[in-house]
Amino acid sequence: MNTTWLLTGLIALVAAPVLGGLLAGFDRILTARMQGRVGPPLFQPFYDVFKLFEKRGVSVSHFQNFYIVCFVLFTAFATGLFFAGQDLLLVVFALTAGGVFLVLGAFSPNSPYSTIGAERELLQMLAYEPMLLIAVMGLYLVAGTAIGPTPAAPAVLDTGKATTILACPPGDTNRLSASNQAASVSSAPVPASNTVASNSTVAAGCGATPCCQEAGLPACGTPASKTRAQADRNFKVATILHNARQGGMGWRMLLNLSGIFLGFLFILTIKLRKSPFDLSTSHHGHQEVVKGLTTEFSGKTLAWIEIGHWYENILLMGFVWLFFSGLHPAVAAALVAAVYFLEILVDNASARLKWQTMVKAAWIVTLVLGVSNLLFLFYFNR
């Protein structure tokens, strides 16, 4: 893992709950203004969480607090992986595991209201997970493979019995100077200890340091065929961002993923638990006689659930940002803010639907927009 990406992931672990709390505060203020109210202060979500930490928690089941700890850890782990530039599939699996632990925590008290909330949360997961995986596949096909510009592989010299890597790609700070590379080719024979069977490689011009770490290429000494395959096929966030920026994809990336992006916006409403799909629980107090999924949680446990949701919201905004990653960062940030504003607008302009309607609508959108866009990318945009 590149040191810069590792530091970014660690910073995200600390910054995500802060940004998530500010986002929740902005959500409350904007919602209040849409409803003709003044609304709470921006830092009200932090005040609520601090107050919950001061309250005495009551646990109906011995396991429910353990499940909530697992929910927060897996959600934070997924957020850290994403902002550390790691594998998107692993991020989705960790996020799903966190959601499963939240459901188990809601099931454990054996309360009828909590159980209904847990069942509805499972239905929501059933509705949005297929589209979420399709979004990952679409990003992989457009910017994670050779469809987008991929880093050049090291120059290779075929010596018959051994294949020698002469130099790292241009721009790699770890490569030797041109004179050293020429000397290593013209005067230095391939050492006998490094000569192996055909299709093997010997590092001759890259020195002892790995080549192209930023671009995701492996260290010198890896077979050239594997080097190209690993560079061209990668689910990593770092690779998607590298290809989108260096390839100058711009709006073309969003155009190629237009169907998947619209489908992702649809399931984003479910994932953010906003109307009309806030079935398991709602952040609007007037919509709940009882709180559904979080009915049997209180005190510190409820505070940790709220922090876990903050992690989750920042991670989802990061997913949205990936679709705009080929654009200028300021433009991409403005579009992400516009998407969140749209979600708040839909939340305040619609009433809750039945779970049957949610599942049918989500699957129809997934098939019509997601699968068709994926087939187009697979067959016509390779």
Average pLDDT score, the chain: 79
User: What local confidence, expressed as pLDDT, does residue 145 receive?
Assistant: 59
Q: For 193-215, b where at least 16 C-beta lie within 10 A, e where not — what string?
A: eeeeeeebbbbbbbbeebbbbeb
H/E stretch holding 51: helix 44-54
Q: Answer yes or no: are the C-beta atoms of 381 and 256 closer than 8 Å.
A: yes
Gyration radius from the chain CA atoms? 25
Q: What is the pLDDT of residues 311-364, one digit of tens each?
A: 999 999 999 999 998 888 999 999 999 999 999 999 988 888 888 999 999 999
DSSP symbol at 368: I
Nearest residue to 299 (alpha-carbon basis) of 61, 40, 50, 75 = 50
Place of tokens 């005190």: 299
Round to whole Å and give the CA distance between 95 and 76.
Answer: 9
Q: What is the pLDDT of residues 211-233, one digit of tens each?
A: 444 444 444 444 444 444 444 46
To the nearest 10 degrees (0 to 180), the angle between helices 237-246 and 299-323 is 30
Q: What is the pLDDT of residues 7-66, one digit of tens each?
A: 999 999 999 999 999 999 999 999 999 988 988 999 999 999 999 999 887 888 888 899
pLDDT confidence tier of residue 281, bands split at 50, 70 and 90: confident
Q: What is the pLDDT of residues 194-215, one digit of tens each?
A: 433 333 333 334 444 444 444 4
For residues 201 and 3, the model is more confident at 3
- Asked whether the predicted pLDDT for residue 381 surpasses 90, the reply is no
Ranking 40-44, 137-141, 175-179, 305-309 by mean pLDDT, the lowest is 175-179
> Where do the structural domains in the chain lie, given as residue ranges?
3-145+239-380, 155-232
pLDDT confidence tier of residue 135, bands split at 50, 70 and 90: very high
Q: Answer yes or no: are the C-beta atoms of 373 and 141 closer than 8 Å.
A: no
- Asked whether the predicted pLDDT for residue 104 surpasses 70, the reply is yes
Written as one string, the DSSP assignment of 310-326 is HHHHHHHHHHHHHHTTT
